[in-house]
Structure 1
Amino acid sequence: MKNNAIIIRDNLQEEYQDIYTVEAIDALNALAHFNKSVKDLMTERIKRRNDRQKNKTRITFYDPESMIPGTDIKVQDARDGKFEGSAIPHDLQRQWIQGTGPASKPNASLESSIRNAAYALLSGADGWMFDGEDALGQIASMSLDNQRNLKLAISKDPVFLKVAEQVAGEMNRWSEGFLGYPMVKDWKTQLDFTTKIFRCRGLHLDDRHIRDAEGVAMAASIADLCLYVVNNYRQLQISGSSIVLYLPKIQTATEAALWNKMLTALEAHLGLETGTIKVYLLVEQLEATYQLMEIRAVLGKHFVGYNTGRWDYINSVSDAMAWDKTFINPNIESVTMTYGYMRNYEDRVRRAVNTPDINGNCAIWQGGMEPNIPVGSPDGVSASMKKAFAGAEREQREGASGKWVAHWKMVNIVRPVWEKSGEANQVGRKFPALTYTQQDADGLILLEPAPITIRGARNLLSVAIQYGNAFAQGMQAAALKAADDFGNDDILYLMEDMATGEIRLSIVWEWVHKGARFTDSDVETGVNAGDVFSFDLLKRLIEEEYSKLLKADNKDVYDASKTTTLPIAREIAEIYVFNEFKIPWFIDLLNINLNNSDLNVAKKRISNYIETFQNEGKRITENPDFVL
């Protein structure tokens, strides 16, 4: 259906009248003109990437005397804090634990799907980032189900309240057995404890249901921004809550400045004061780490803090250094937040948040993700929870004001780390000022000796293929582990999302295309320490790991997927790791095959993507099933 500046596919506007409201449609129409700006910036992004690959150049810091491109802000002024930022609102002052996850489930009734929102808001987390991006499935109209469930939960609709009461009882039965006490004492009161936060999809993604008047796929970021804010801002304000977003995958201050323009335009459209909408920025891209203060400056009154995620960031470093034959990551397990370039990245973020603006306002550093889930053998759970607790203690010592967890069961396990400190946050804690030297630049791509092993390769391939399979079934967040660990309850499942699947394939691509040498011998394959990772070996490992997945129990790999989505997941993984040039986004190959279980169709779509990108430098990001 056409609405002035936008077109909504099929009959979704009628099916989701509660989401595509008149007010929401008006906002989408008002912001639709930004679609061209988004697409232009994404074209520039790919050109920068291709130029780096072609010319074998590294990312560098801006000239301090230059202007931030697309703005009237001088780079040095941004670095010196000569800009107006934001005071941290009351309900973001204490964010010891933020949970993450979507508010909906695939192929589920409303009552079943909305349970996700109930678990989140009864978890005891200080904030919950309801995901519209990496952890939210996009099959069918799931993104709209996510918006519907959030609207019902935020407005405390009777449907949601009925489910929440049931979920509270289930959560207490678990916590009484595991923690020794009921975690939900008064479920109605508990629903008001957690700050609601929404993560929009990044600028690089297109919405599957909306196109602009020219028939061009609408940037998913515009769709998510309008639908979430318009449908919920009044209720959030009535309840005394801030309107808070997480912005992902931003690479440059210029991209952040476009976000700022869209936020400001939506506020003006709704009659809200500039800066009403608050945003955290996920520092997930290497390029952004070179421009942290510049990004803070251009987001201005909207900006409240940064989050240091692990997985996306590792992938961005791998991607930025794809041209450098000497840059080879080790086993993924070795690239922790204390490893080489990750340690330096985290250090720059904590310095950036505690540089005051012209009004003396500092920002929040929210620590990274804890992917463990306390489900497994007693010994396995105990060991993993100790590891999770130690990781949280490290981040707290380093200056983080809180961290993320990937499951509601982890909230009360990790939250005591910050409770013991007794401080709401660590905003303004003193750290050395940011510097912009060659040594700083080198530190952001610093490799350190660590294992590269056959076991590491098997784990990378097994989980990546499983993730592609889960994605195709609408589970963009899935509890997974390598096939060799199936049946071993001492090895816990980890919550994997889009970013974890992507970095696994990125590292395999590095190993085989850059000639990584194994640090250890392996009896099963006959590989010796010092041997080069070959294409023949990669073929063998994929075949063996795929065979294990075909033989796995339904618990680990759904039987129904073994002849439908699993073969497509393997095809995508193989194309990614064998392709001569590094494909810019793993999610692109997955997205063009959503709602498709025909391997031959998948092969044609993937081939078309590869040819288009290679010949035209253009990604295919629109929904192939959208018929105008």
Structure 2
Amino acid sequence: MLPPQAEIGGVAVHAPIPPEFRRILTPEALQFVAHLARCYTPRVEELLQRRRERQARFDAGAKPDWLPETKHIREGNWKVAPLPADLLDRRVEITGPTDRKMVINALNSGASVYMPDFEDSNCPTWKNLIEGQLNLYDAVRRTISLAAPGGKTYRLKEGKLAVMLVRPRGWHLWEKHVTVSGHPVPGGIFDFALYFFHNAKQQMQNGSGPYYYLPKMESHLECRLWNDIFVESQRLLGIPKGTIKATCLIETLPAAFEMDEFLYELRDHSAGLNCGRWDYMFSFIKTLRSDPSRIFPDRGLVGMDQPFLRAYTQLVIKTCHKRGVHAIGGMSALIPVKGDARANEAAFDKVRTDKLREVTDGHDGTWVAHPGLIPVAKEVFDKHMPGPNQITSKLRQDVNVARDDLLKVPTGPRTLGALRNNINVSIQYLEAWLGGNGCVPLHNLMEDAATAEISRSSVWQWLRYGATLDDGQRLTADRVNMLIQAELDGLRKQVGDARFATGHYLPAAFIFRHMVNSTQLQDFLTLPAYDILVAEEFGPTFGAGASGGVRSRM
């Protein structure tokens, strides 16, 4: 087993460290990472085991429900701590990866908030992770710039920029380029710690603070872990408790039954909840995967007007406003359509309708995936939300959501066209992801890991239960595999033999085929893809060791 490339601050780094990376990977910063990893990695593993145990109960026929042991929290009269001034108005938020051009454009975009993303729209290559941290380091200090080919230079504008809320990776993801005591560091701790260590005090000097989005949680105990990490991190750096603010994404079905508890666990550090609609749909399929009565229709037909999504989003609003904090709406995956004015206007109309529903329901802000949609979303929210938010004006006490409302299966047909689109999107997204890109425009939509997961899990579900499609035929493994090959052949023709040969189409199709033909729905598409990514990233000798760590060539 080959040694790590460097031991820094109690951390073993199993990847190259070029000189520019040393601005981020300082001994002090990595000591901070190591301390948090030693303190909290066992709890991450314990919580992941609790997830597996609960899913086993769901597979055996149990259904998600409100927890009897936390009834006193749901019925209690409490509120979260007051919000800082720069988080009071969050009417339009843009999300995206942390590459240098994206960071500059997003901060300049006119959005209220920019969420630099180390999770669903990021492929966690070593280069992406550390360059992303460097880009945010420079952005916080307003020194970031980019000289692009052709002579164009990107830099931050004068005056107000979007407020940054960084999204670290979820608890299920590990940073295998870095180990502490022979064990990979939880990806969320790695992302959070480096950003916090380098930028928290500078952000406070800027009149802002260290703000975060927290993804993929399934239990309030996972929020409690984040809160403990926040408290310890602030103590270590001599920063007042409550300086960190975090918005939790409600993007798993179990989390929908613990909204009050999420806010309560983070009440000193809470900046509200967000409706992570795409992951929520995926989680619905995954959580209820053993129930043949819960089969989804075509992905494109599962709109926010479906009753289970209406119940979920309105419950988020009611819960947040009761506790004195923001309820942020979901992502519009639509992007501007170049070269087709009619299609572009149709896309903009869909965005307007989506954002109008959100603001009139009572949301305090919304997400877009493309800068071109910020004016559209902002126009709708400006018209219907004249104040900074709707926390006190729309309490939504009229909303009463029962368990079955959240578990109602969406309705609609299952078509051959949607099946082929799901296959095509999954292969193309995985191909891009294996090439280092976690955010891909496909078919006039911005696809990330969450939207790709809906495609992948829908194919698995339809195949597992032999769904009958619109052509009257039941779906079989032979037919799915034939369509995978047909889509692969089509992509070869589309991109050409040279691009196909140098790309990652074959491993992408292999991963997808393996996952949809599995008897069990695997938890996340990116987990087997990450193992391939890490194994190939720095050459053929770079692979997983027996302890789960990673070794690289010297």
| Fold shared per TM-score above 0.5 | yes
The 10-residue stretch of structure 1 (40-49 or 393-402) with the greater mean CA deviation from structure 2? 40-49
Q: Residue type matched to 2:233 in 1? A: L
Q: Equivalent residue for 1:152? A: 138
User: Structure 1 245/627 Cα, relative in aligned 2: closer, same or farther at 3 Å?
Assistant: farther
Instruction: Give the Cα separation in 2 of the matches to 1:547 and 1:621.
Output: 39
Write out per-residue CA displacement over residues 102-139 of structure 1, whole angstroms, 9 at most, x where no aligned residue. Answer: 121xxxxxxxxx22211111111111000011111222
Q: Equivalent residue for 1:374? A: 336
Equivalent position SS for 1:538: helix
User: Structure 1 161/544 Cα, relative in aligned 2: closer, same or farther at 3 Å?
Assistant: closer
* Deviation of 1:540 (Å): 2.1
Instruction: Give the Cα separation in 2 of the matches to 1:11 and 1:580.
Output: 39
Residues 1:243 and 2:210 are matched in the alignment: yes
Aligned length: 538
* Deviation of 1:560 (Å): 2.9
User: Structure 1 239/166 Cα, relative in aligned 2: closer, same or farther at 3 Å?
Assistant: farther
Write out per-residue CA displacement over residues 57-109 of structure 1, whole angstroms, 9 at most, x where no aligned residue. Answer: 2122211xx2xxxxxxxx233213444522121111111111001121xxxxx
Q: Is the 8 A contact 1:128 1:194 kept in 2?
A: yes
Structure 1: state its 5+ residue gaps: 67-74, 105-113, 170-186, 357-361, 482-492, 522-527, 609-619
Write out per-residue CA displacement over residues 509-548 of structure 1, whole angstroms, 9 at most, x where no aligned residue. Answer: 1101112122x33xxxxxx2xx322222212221211111
Q: Is the 8 A contact 1:81 1:297 kept in 2?
A: no
Equivalent position SS for 2:495: coil
Equivalent position SS for 1:16: helix
Q: Is the 8 A contact 1:81 1:355 kept in 2?
A: no
Equivalent position SS for 1:552: helix
Instruction: Give the Cα separation in 2 of the matches to 1:4 and 1:126.
Output: 37
Q: Equivalent residue for 2:510? A: 571
Q: Is the 8 A contact 1:469 1:561 kept in 2?
A: no
* Deviation of 1:595 (Å): 5.6
Instruction: Give the Cα separation in 2 of the matches to 1:253 and 1:621.
Output: 29
Residues 1:466 and 2:440 are matched in the alignment: no
User: What percent identity do the matched residue pairs reach?
Assistant: 27
Write out per-residue CA displacement over residues 153-209 of structure 1, whole angstroms, 9 at most, x where no aligned residue. Answer: 11122x52877x95569xxxxxxxxxxxxxxxxx6324x331111001011100132
Equivalent position SS for 2:467: coil
Q: Equivalent residue for 1:542? A: 484
The 10-residue stretch of structure 1 (288-297 or 373-382) with the greater mean CA deviation from structure 2? 373-382
Equivalent position SS for 1:269: helix
Q: Residue type matched to 1:403 in 2? A: T
* Deviation of 1:25 (Å): 2.1
Instruction: Give the Cα separation in 2 of the matches to 1:453 and 1:375.
Output: 25
Write out per-residue CA displacement over residues 208-248 of structure 1, whole angstroms, 9 at most, x where no aligned residue. Answer: 321111x1111011111110111111221111012210000
Match of 1:8 among 13, 20, 26: 13
Residues 1:28 and 2:33 are matched in the alignment: yes
Residues 1:332 and 2:299 are matched in the alignment: yes
Q: Is the 8 A contact 1:565 1:597 kept in 2?
A: no
Structure 2: state its 5+ residue gaps: 1-5
Q: Residue type matched to 1:129 in 2? A: M
Q: Equivalent residue for 2:327? A: 365
Match of 1:299 among 253, 256, 266: 266
Match of 1:58 among 52, 59, 63: 63
Q: Equivalent residue for 1:525? A: none
Equivalent position SS for 2:166: strand
Write out per-residue CA displacement over residues 467-501 of structure 1, whole angstroms, 9 at most, x where no aligned residue. Answer: 000101111001012xxxxxxxxxxx211101111
Q: Is the 8 A contact 1:245 1:279 kept in 2?
A: yes
Q: Equivalent residue for 1:210? A: 178
Instruction: Give the Cα separation in 2 of the matches to 1:475 and 1:621.
Output: 28
* Deviation of 1:262 (Å): 0.6
Instruction: Give the Cα separation in 2 of the matches to 1:543 and 1:597.
Output: 24
Residues 1:506 and 2:457 are matched in the alignment: yes
Q: Residue type matched to 2:520 in 1? A: F
Equivalent position SS for 1:301: coil
Q: Equivalent residue for 1:419? A: 382
Q: Is the 8 A contact 1:373 1:407 kept in 2?
A: yes
Instruction: Give the Cα separation in 2 of the matches to 1:309 and 1:262.
Output: 23
Q: Is the 8 A contact 2:175 2:184 kept in 1?
A: yes
User: Structure 1 328/381 Cα, relative in aligned 2: closer, same or farther at 3 Å?
Assistant: same
Residues 1:588 and 2:527 are matched in the alignment: yes
Question: For 1:104-119, what aligned pairs fall within 5 Å after superposition?
Answer: 104=99, 114-119=100-105
Instruction: Give the Cα separation in 1 of the matches to 2:552 and 2:333.
Output: 35
Equivalent position SS for 2:268: helix
Q: Equivalent residue for 1:614? A: none
* Deviation of 1:340 (Å): 2.8
Q: Residue type matched to 1:19 in 2? A: I
Q: Is the 8 A contact 2:296 2:411 kept in 1?
A: no
Q: Is the 8 A contact 2:176 2:184 kept in 1?
A: yes
User: Structure 1 275/621 Cα, relative in aligned 2: closer, same or farther at 3 Å?
Assistant: farther
Instruction: Give the Cα separation in 2 of the matches to 1:446 and 1:26.
Output: 48
The RMSD of aligned alpha carbons is 2.4
Q: Equivalent residue for 1:318? A: 285
Equivalent position SS for 1:456: helix
User: Structure 1 168/412 Cα, relative in aligned 2: closer, same or farther at 3 Å?
Assistant: farther
Residues 1:494 and 2:479 are matched in the alignment: no
Q: Is the 8 A contact 1:564 1:597 kept in 2?
A: no
Q: Residue type matched to 2:397 in 1? A: P
User: Structure 1 382/143 Cα, relative in aligned 2: closer, same or farther at 3 Å?
Assistant: same
Residues 1:94 and 2:61 are matched in the alignment: no
Q: Residue type matched to 1:56 in 2? A: G
* Deviation of 1:563 (Å): 5.0
Q: Is the 8 A contact 2:272 2:325 kept in 1?
A: yes
User: Structure 1 454/623 Cα, relative in aligned 2: closer, same or farther at 3 Å?
Assistant: farther
Instruction: Give the Cα separation in 2 of the matches to 1:30 and 1:596.
Output: 27
Q: How does the TM-score come out when normalised to structure 1?
A: 0.81
Q: Is the 8 A contact 2:95 2:114 kept in 1?
A: yes
Equivalent position SS for 1:592: helix
Q: How does the TM-score come out when normalised to structure 2?
A: 0.92
Equivalent position SS for 1:300: coil
Residues 1:200 and 2:177 are matched in the alignment: no
Match of 2:106 among 120, 124, 128: 120
Question: For 1:254-269, what aligned pairs fall within 5 Å after superposition?
Answer: 254-269=221-236
Q: Is the 8 A contact 2:334 2:446 kept in 1?
A: yes
Q: Is the 8 A contact 1:206 1:621 kept in 2?
A: no
Equivalent position SS for 1:188: coil
Equivalent position SS for 2:330: strand
Match of 1:385 among 348, 351, 371: 348
Match of 1:40 among 46, 49, 58: 46
* Deviation of 1:626 (Å): 5.2
Equivalent position SS for 1:547: helix
Q: Residue type matched to 1:591 in 2? A: Y
Q: Equivalent residue for 1:177? A: none
Q: Residue type matched to 2:440 in 1? A: A
Q: Equivalent residue for 1:613? A: none
Q: Is the 8 A contact 2:427 2:509 kept in 1?
A: yes
Instruction: Give the Cα separation in 2 of the matches to 1:621 and 1:576.
Output: 25
Q: Equivalent residue for 1:453? A: 415
